[in-house]
């Protein structure tokens, strides 16, 4: 049993399927709390990153292999407990990702108009948990806190025209809101310097190629200290990031309809506004020579009616599974779940819940292989599941009123989305509403 059908779970299913043939073949169930598979590839990868999205073709082949079964719309901890799963499966591999966001910890952060980038991404990706009307984009100024790839994604989606996004699978209600967007200025804030930014150069460069937005960088914010120089010398990726930013700092704005300000050495200290977000107060910082930054006491205010916090994700504890609150991951050794320092027989982790929210999709391949190697090494000594028949899971859930979405159900959803796309001259239009997804799954 693999919990989570994102890249980590599916790569683990693939590695397991390849590890056993003939009599040793594994029978693998991949379950997901959503009716649809593919996790963050479907609900996190930006809609205009079509090449990355196409990884779905490879992931799909894994789920279609003999011996692999997808079961969606099952929430572990609510619909079925980890203990119950242990009675049916010899091995449980958790690949349930990092589902929540981290707060910045500044006053005003909870005002209306403040949201996490995770919520915004979920909304534009048509995630069934996202409220359809969650974002209206009546804001002129948007402050995006953080300079990682998620910040870059949300800034780019906000900057593009709907014409540029029409070729994607964005749900209709999202395209409508983007069409009416009032946004003129998008500000991205890094609390440290350009050599400490987390985005990757390929993603960064896309911001400089936007037809609808001028990218604006302040030359005086591209400070480099000894630690930055060392980072540039040791990492070509850091060097390229800094070079790109230095080139942009020389650019003259072209009067495009939107402006994307990429700012550094500014630490958010308070959200301005009484009943909703009106701006963001930031403290200027300076590099401390060791890779960190210290406050200077000088403040600046930015006009923004929408604040998006893109400061990283965090894992969520699953009932019945140990969890390290400090690091936000399940304690593990090479993928073996640890309880009080000792491996729990038959329990494993892969992906973000194992190592934290870092790396690109491909990182999960090696990560899953490591975990599966541990499973293979342990399997002969594992206790056999007591009631041992995974086929009992669907009727058990049906008895509890859980509408399990099988592979055929997902294919029906897939077909419905492709049909919807055809009616609009688009490849696909995503269905966002959970009830509508379940209706489509029924065919
Ligand atoms: P991330 O890469 O960890 O970036 C988080 C950013 O937030 C950093 O700039 C960090 O600055 C900043 N930050 C953290 N706490 C802060 C605070 N209290 N105040 C101000 N700034 C703060 O996280 P992410 O952007 O969420 O991305 C998660 C993972 O997904 C990454 O591995 C990313 O590469 C991956 N991803 C990849 C793609 C892609 O390949 N296209 C797209 C999306 C996401 P400090 O460094 O100073 O802490």
Instruction: Report the separation in Å between the CA atom of 110 and the middle of ligand 1, taken as the mean of its atom positions.
Output: 20
d(CA 248, CA 250): 5
| CB-based contact 140:183 (threshold 8 Å) | yes
Q: CB neighbours of 342 closer than 8 A, spacing ≥ 6?
A: none
d(CA 70, CA 115): 32
Closest of 97, 112, 93 to residue 34, by C-alpha: 97
Q: Look at the chain and count its residues.
A: 443
Q: CB neighbours of 216 closer than 8 A, spacing ≥ 6?
A: 248, 251, 253, 259, 260, 261, 262
Closest of 258, 353, 349, 304 to residue 145, by C-alpha: 304
Q: Spell out the domain ranges in the chain.
A: 2-99+315-405, 101-309
Positive/negative CA dihedral, 91, 1, 39, 132: negative
Q: Is beta strand 336-339 parallel, antiparallel or unpaired with respect to 332-333?
A: antiparallel
Residue numbers in the chain where pLDDT is lower than 50: none
| CB-based contact 284:265 (threshold 8 Å) | yes
DSSP string, 392-409: GHHHHHHHTT---B-HHH
Q: Strand, coil or helix: what is 294? A: strand
Closest residue by Cα to atom 5, ligand 1, is 311
d(CA 64, CA 66): 6
Closest residue by Cα to atom 30, ligand 1, is 358
d(CA 198, CA 194): 9
d(CA 106, CA 386): 50
CATH superfamily, with its number, for domain 101-309: FAD/NAD(P)-binding domain (3.50.50.60)
Instruction: Report the separation in Å between the CA atom of 197 and the middle of ligand 1, taken as the mean of its atom positions.
Output: 8
425: left (phi over 0), alpha (psi -120 to 50) or beta: left
Q: Is 328 in the pocket of ligand 1 (CB under 6 A)?
A: no
- Please write the tens of the pLDDT for every residue from 163-173: 999 889 999 99
Q: Is 190 in the pocket of ligand 1 (CB under 6 A)?
A: yes
Closest of 258, 237, 262 to residue 249, by C-alpha: 262
CATH match of 2-99+315-405 with 1.20.58.100: no
Q: Is 120 in the pocket of ligand 1 (CB under 6 A)?
A: no
Instruction: Report the separation in Å between the CA atom of 148 and the middle of ligand 1, taken as the mean of its atom positions.
Output: 4
């Amino acid at each position: 049993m693999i919990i989570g059908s994102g890249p980590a779970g599916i790569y683990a299913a693939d590695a397991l399927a390849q590890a056993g043939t003939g009599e040793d073949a594994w029978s693998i169930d991949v379950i997901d709390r959503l009716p649809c598979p593919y996790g963050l590839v479907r609900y996190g990868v930006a809609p205009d990153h079509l090449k990355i999205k196409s990884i779905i073709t490879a992931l799909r082949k894994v789920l279609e292999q003999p011996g692999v079964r997808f079961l969606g719309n099952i929430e572990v901890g609510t619909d079925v407990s980890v203990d119950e799963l242990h009675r049916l499966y010899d091995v449980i591999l958790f690949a349930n990702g990092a589902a929540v966001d981290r707060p910045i910890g500044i006053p005003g952060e909870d005002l209306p108009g403040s949201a996490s980038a995770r919520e915004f991404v979920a909304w534009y990706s048509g995630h069934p948990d996202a409220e359809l009307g969650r974002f209206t984009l009546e804001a002129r100024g948007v402050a995006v806190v953080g300079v990682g790839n998620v910040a870059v994604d949300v800034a780019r989606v906000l900057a593009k025209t709907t014409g540029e996004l029409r070729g994607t699978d964005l749900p209709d209600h999202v395209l409508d809101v983007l069409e009416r967007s009032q946004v003129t200025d998008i500000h991205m804030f890094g609390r440290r310097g350009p050599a400490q930014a987390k985005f990757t150069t390929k993603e960064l460069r896309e911001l400089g190629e936007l037809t609808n937005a001028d990218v604006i960088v302040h030359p005086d914010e591209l400070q480099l200290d000894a630690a930055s120089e060392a980072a540039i010398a040791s990492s070509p990726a850091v060097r390229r990031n800094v070079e790109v930013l230095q080139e942009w700092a020389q650019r003259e704005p072209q009067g495009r309809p939107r402006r994307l300000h990429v700012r550094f050495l500014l630490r958010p200290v308070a959200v301005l506004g009484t009943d909703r977000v009106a701006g963001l107060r930031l403290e200027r910082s300076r590099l401390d020579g060791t890779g960190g930054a210290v406050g200077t006491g000088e403040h600046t205010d930015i006009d923004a009616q929408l604040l998006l916090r893109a400061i990283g994700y965090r894992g969520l504890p699953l009932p019945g599974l140990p969890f390290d609150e400090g690091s936000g991951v399940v304690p593990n050794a090479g993928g073996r779940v640890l309880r009080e320092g000792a491996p729990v027989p038959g329990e494993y982790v892969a992906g973000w819940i194992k190592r934290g929210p870092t790396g690109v999709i491909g990182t999960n391949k090696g990560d899953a292989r490591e975990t599966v190697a541990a499973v293979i090494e342990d399997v002969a000594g594992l206790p056999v599941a007591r009631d041992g028949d995974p086929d009992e899971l669907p009727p058990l859930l049906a008895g509890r009123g859980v509408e399990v979405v099988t592979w055929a159900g997902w294919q029906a959803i897939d077909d419905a989305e492709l049909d919807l796309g055809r009616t609009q001259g688009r490849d696909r239009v995503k269905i966002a509403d959970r009830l509508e997804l379940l209706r489509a799954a029924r065919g």
